[in-house]
Amino acid sequence: MKKHIIAAICLSLFFPISASIAVNKLDIGANCDSNGQCLTGNCEDSDKSEENDNYCACSRGVAKDCHDRYGSDAGETWQCNNGGGASHGLNYCLSSTGRIKYPLEPTESSPIDAILNIELLADELKRQAEKPQTKINIPGLNFSEPEVITEGNTTFLVIPYLSEYISQMYKYAVMLAGVGAVLIIIVGGFQFTISGGAADKKEAAKKRIGGAIIGLLIAAGSYTVLYTINPNLVELTNLRVQYVKQQELGSVLVGEFSTDVFSPGQITAPTYDISTLPTSTVPMFYQCANGQPGYEGQKWGPLPYGTINGKPATVCDIGCGLASMSMILTYYNSVITPQSLKLPGGTVPLPPKNTNPGSITEWIWNNNIKTINVIGTGKRTFNRVATAYGMNYVWNVDRAKAKVLLQQKKPLIGYVQNKIRKQEKSKDRKDRKSTCRFTTAGHYIVVTGYDPVQKVYTTNDPGTRHWKKKELYHVPEQELLDGCKVVFIYVGKEKL
């Protein structure tokens, strides 16, 4: 008896503890410090600039995480996708019905999110291309299969449903009109027969029969009437959807960060006094440096730095952001305080005191600071590196504040993009004319100063090959605003 009582007490104590353990697990969207705290077993680092920017998110490929959290309607399935710009870099849930559930309040969607959702878009297009099922059975309506045709170098998906539907509806309408006309003629004939010699009744019956015959002729001859008015009115062409040829992302980005798109000859003679421009002690690091004359100490260009389309990439290929961050950290080298970086997978060793691109690259790569399949340097990597060096990080400083900081000798990283005006667009990207001296797509530079009198920015461009052409480092404000889209990024000791 005592054994049963003891067993009952043990069970009563054990189950509440087990329940409390399950209850204390954190749901998707909650702040976390380790994977074990989350119901999904996945604590991720977001791109938010906060002291604790780790949050529970669904595990990639585990649909159950999304189903358990958000439930499913009849026939609805879930998938957990890699994070993008709108999800603050956190994995998010995507359903077969188009529902999207983010762990946190989403930011504005970005092109990256559209790429992430490509599987859903493909499934949706496939579903839309299937034969439609009409609610009312229309005699003779049998939809044919879509077909793929090629005209020259262009491929189209031909969808015949709409034209076939309209064509059959026309035939069906003519048939109904014919049946109606015959019935009206029969009724009119019956009225004429029983008119009893009354002239008004005979006349009414004749008009009814005549109207029915005219209506029947119009219905049957409408094709000829429409063709006479405009032949295009009777030409029902099938819907044609052009296939967009896939272009690998790497073919768009490779070279953007290692070559100049403006040659010195494209830059007009400066109309400002170079001698009065602000000087800067921000070092110049070239991302493609490999011991060239005068820069023998810079040999980090060939170092591995991620992948492009699954192929190894180097600092020279996509390291403009890394080189720009390195310039800023080296400028502040005497006041930076390296510290351990806490990530969901554990604590990362102290970053190197030597802040040149080579040292930082090895530290990033050895400690999984950067996602291997992310091209270039993203917000999350910037944030992690800045945090590891005890620096504050702010993405997108407004232009007025940026000018003040630059005049206070606080350099900024500039993310510059090319502005393609309508008249400069071209189907072939290589024929496009660049409007931004730094890039035809996207690039990171360091903005070292600003002259408010002459309205000129001074810059360090890690991607330039014209290392001794100092005029490349002076950019009139109007040229920068007209030619480039610019986002200023702050990395410094003081909080903004």
- Write the pLDDT tens digit of every residue in 165-189: 888 888 888 888 888 888 999 998 8
Q: SS3 of 156, please?
A: strand
Predicted confidence at residue 452, as pLDDT, reads 92
Q: SS3 of 26, please?
A: strand
Are 411 and 448 within 8 A, CB to CB?
yes
Mean pLDDT estimate for the chain: 76
Predicted confidence at residue 309, as pLDDT, reads 65
Which is higher by pLDDT, 199 or 275?
199
Residue 182 half-sphere exposure, CB side, CA atoms within 13 Å?
Answer: 5
| pLDDT class of 433 with cuts at 50, 70, 90 | low
Predicted confidence at residue 16, as pLDDT, reads 45
Beta bridge partners of 304: 314
From 109-118, 388-397, 417-426, the region with the lowest mean pLDDT = 109-118
The alpha carbon of 48 is separated from its chain's Cα centroid by a whole number of angstroms, namely 18
CA distance 224 to 171: 14
What is the phi/psi pair of residue 438, to 5°?
-90, -25
Which CATH number is 249-492 given? 3.90.70.10
pLDDT at 303 over 50: yes
| pLDDT class of 146 with cuts at 50, 70, 90 | confident
| pLDDT class of 381 with cuts at 50, 70, 90 | confident
**Average pLDDT in the 439-465 region?**
87
Using CA atoms of 25, 29, 84, 413 in order, give the dihedral in degrees to the nearest 10. Answer: -110
Predicted confidence at residue 219, as pLDDT, reads 79
Predicted confidence at residue 18, as pLDDT, reads 38
Which is higher by pLDDT, 46 or 413?
413
Residue labelled with tokens 């999110």: 113
**Average pLDDT in the 403-408 region?**
94
Distances (CA, A) of 280 to 54, 124, 431: 37, 54, 36
| pLDDT class of 441 with cuts at 50, 70, 90 | confident
pLDDT at 249 over 50: no
The percentage of the chain sitting over the pLDDT mark of 90, rounded to a whole number, equals 14
Predicted confidence at residue 263, as pLDDT, reads 42
pLDDT at 123 over 80: no
CA distance 459 to 433: 22
Across 16-25, 225-234, 307-316, 486-495, the highest mean pLDDT is recorded for 486-495
pLDDT at 328 over 90: yes
Predicted confidence at residue 23, as pLDDT, reads 55
Supply the pTM of this predicted model: 0.52
pLDDT at 405 over 90: yes
Are 232 and 242 within 8 A, CB to CB?
no
**Average pLDDT in the 361-383 region?**
74
397-418 burial: b if 16+ Cβ within 10 Å, else e = beeeebbebbeeebbbbbbbbb
Predicted confidence at residue 410, as pLDDT, reads 94
**Average pLDDT in the 323-341 region?**
89
